[in-house]
Structure 1
């Protein structure tokens, strides 16, 4: 298989997008993309008719291997594990790679729900729904028959149906985040009650480096108490800002 620099530029965004969706980690996705291309450039004698499918197969298989080992690590992880946010610059929104990354399947809730899928369920769902591979192509990529792939896809869809249609309008979400930051800084509980759902759940992830809530926090009073408590402890250093756009056009508060 002969890969050109043009192939590298064309397929790199696709492979990163696949890897990030499967792993929820920017660094891991970038590492595997580079590893995939290094291995692909070393393949000289093998004839490959569909380079896109072949590279996606290499990428998917490496992600599957990493997910299997990552599950063991995350079982020992203290507290909830959250996907790594991916920030997309507004000025680059017309770039093909940015457009690909902003396609369906990048909401934070969607990526969290992926944690409830097995590695193969995750791969089949993404390859079919986000990247439009046929079942025959998917069967070749993950080395299962087409009927199995159809069943895996159906099972995966059922598991994530609760968040499949979740989306927030960019400008509306931006306004809500700005109001939330202002209300939080003023500790205005009345305004926060208007902005935060009574079914809110707070997931705190310290990355294994700083203290965080071990379990998800439920209900508005408990969430507000936690946030206000963190704010008081970090009163001199805490920075609140919203970065837009990011994964799924949702905002993130830091």
Structure 2
């Protein structure tokens, strides 16, 4: 029996693949584009003379960051013509992601949406510095800036994110309780119960990408309007609708089932035990990574 031999370049890349995917996903908000970035990084990596690479992990992160920045500019043009609100692509995540509070917070739908408001370079700098604790010199090499410029960008991005991110980390148990109340009110058509679990200024974003009919082409703001949209939509359904608890991006979420098949993923933002944000992804092109658990890591 012939022993399978893996070349050093492949071994190194595979060892760091989960980290590189996490870097690319946090920069792009798209698992499909993150996979493309890893493919591009791999093709460049295997062409290198490894004898000249002092720190393979740092080099791979730098390559992934550069490819992600290139892809971010393409995504920006794509989003400008996107039909309706754009939401990050949800990932079915493994239990260890949920147990890592720092990692789960960094890939939450709420924070990923905040990162969308940064420029590509600001996002890259913030993700590398605040999430992965990469040194300023390494970040500078990845984004083609001086270390001094990177420090300024990091400070500006940090202030921007802090002003918009959730006020506190919410435990999984509190999130599950809010989702259970939310699910129960929808299934029973209890509008008052739904109003009780929603914050007065709640915002619902429904991402159907122009593919799914009946979607909201603009964010819906306010508990009254959101409750009417949700209860009205489920009440008119001609199909069997169900809800299944799941874990998406390290946080409890609901999978919406239509005739037993997943039709969408609902994630929430919770403040003071009331739902302030509802993120409803229905675009089928963004539901390709919820069939199997995705391993994310900060290391």
- Which deviates more, 6-15 or 216-225? 6-15
Bigger strand fraction = 2
* Matched-pair contact (CA < 8 Å) for 2:202–2:221: yes
Secondary structure of 1:64's aligned partner: helix
What is the CA–CA distance in structure 1 between the aligned matches of 2:168 and 2:90, rounded to whole Å? 17
* Matched-pair contact (CA < 8 Å) for 1:181–1:241: no
- Which deviates more, 157-166 or 47-56? 157-166
* Matched-pair contact (CA < 8 Å) for 1:104–1:130: no
Q: 1:53, CA displacement in angstroms?
A: 1.4
* Matched-pair contact (CA < 8 Å) for 1:53–1:141: no
What is the CA–CA distance in structure 1 between the aligned matches of 2:38 and 2:203, rounded to whole Å? 34
* CA RMSD, 1 decimal: 2.2
The answer to whether structure 1 residue 140 and structure 2 residue 141 are counterparts is yes
Q: How many residues align?
A: 248
* Matched-pair contact (CA < 8 Å) for 2:40–2:67: no
What is the CA–CA distance in structure 1 between the aligned matches of 2:225 and 2:68, rounded to whole Å? 37
Give the corresponding residue for 1:11.
16
Give the corresponding residue for 2:82.
77
Q: For 1:54-111, what per-residue CA distance to the aligned partner results, in whole angstroms no more than 9, with x for missing partners?
A: 1111111111111111111111112110001111133xx289xx95993541111110
What is the CA–CA distance in structure 2 between the aligned matches of 1:135 and 1:20, rounded to whole Å? 21
Q: For 1:159-215, what per-residue CA distance to the aligned partner results, in whole angstroms no more than 9, with x for missing partners?
A: 111215442211121122112111111111222122111120000110331132111
Bigger helix fraction = 1
Secondary structure of 2:242's aligned partner: coil
User: Normalized against structure 2, the TM-score is what?
Assistant: 0.77
What is the CA–CA distance in structure 1 between the aligned matches of 2:178 and 2:242, rounded to whole Å? 18
1:84-103 map, 5 Å: 84-90=89-95, 93=96, 102-103=103-104
Q: 1:225, CA displacement in angstroms?
A: 0.9
Extract unaligned runs of 5+ from structure 2: 1-6, 257-299
Give the corresponding residue for 2:62.
57
- Which deviates more, 231-240 or 52-61? 231-240
* Matched-pair contact (CA < 8 Å) for 1:79–1:213: yes
1:1-254 map, 5 Å: 3-44=8-49, 47-90=52-95, 93=96, 102-161=103-162, 162-163=164-165, 165-211=167-213, 212-244=215-247, 246-254=248-256
Change (3 A) 1:183 1:225: same
What is the CA–CA distance in structure 1 between the aligned matches of 2:211 and 2:32, rounded to whole Å? 17
Change (3 A) 1:192 1:45: closer
What is the CA–CA distance in structure 1 between the aligned matches of 2:103 and 2:238, rounded to whole Å? 35
